[in-house]
Amino acid sequence: MQHPALTALVTGASSGIGEALATQLAAGGADVILAARRKDRLEALAARLREQHRVRVDVVEIDLSAAGAAEALWARTEGAGRRVDVLVNNAGSGVHDSFVSIPWERTATQLQLNLVALTELTHRFARAMVARDRGWILNVASVGAYMPVPSYATYAAGKAYVRSFSEAIADELRATSVRVCCLNPGGTATEFMDAAGHEVPSLARFTLMSSERCAKIGLRALFAGRRNVIAGWMNVLATFLFRFLPRRVTTRFAALAMSAPPPVARAALGSG
């Protein structure tokens, strides 16, 4: 898939799906701006992409969960005159635990990253793309967008927002040459579950999709003009079947699949 003369900004590019997306865009000839918190990883990836694909690669060390970070990223790229043709909103985080057991500060940080920063970046860059009448935006959600997920309650609800938001603005922009697509990965071999504190059985890890395959599905859908894509035919089948099940059944299935902790008892939190 060739993307010459394009510049792509990829958030969460230091590992996993973000790294794979950046690598495949560079392999297609696009210049790439890598944005994430871990500068050492970004610099190592940038060096590899420059050597292997002879494209321009810039690094922006930034924590998008911080207030004002989305505006700062805009100011250091498009706002500074660096045109961005492709925006990939991949940065995100989750916590594997019951909602009431997670400290509010950690949930607030997650919502800032997964929802607020993504929405603000989409708004800022989409306006510039519409003015040029050219651009592509890929927002990374999850198959969790299709169901309530106990133990990932705010994460899955946030991904449902990302999916709905992406499809809505894709329709709003249909008369322009700006395309918006939502990528919904299922279980993928990344650092996400380790960072979320989710212990995955060794055998289950063999069923995970590779980041490279997931990224390829997302980019193919984006440049084909699709508004939404689910990565993997098993995930496509599962989300289709969920439509015919009562929501309570779907929720319990998700709880079992995600190894949700037992229901929270009032005594466990104190009577306060």
Residues that are catalytic: 155
Query: Hey, is 202 helix, strand or coil?
Result: helix
Report the 3 state secondary structure along 42-65.
HHHHHHHHHHHHCCCEEEEECCCC
d(CA 64, CA 50): 25
103: amino acid identity, one letter: P
Q: How many CB atoms sit inside 10 A of residue 183's CB?
A: 29
Tokens of 186: 């299922």
55: amino acid identity, one letter: V
Find the helix packing angle between 153-172 and 104-111, rounded to 10°. 20
Residues 6 or more apart from 38 whose CB is under 8 A from it? 14, 15, 61
Shortest CA distance to 91 belongs to which of 127, 62, 133? 62
Burial label for 12, CB within 10 Å (0-12, 13-18, 19+), is buried
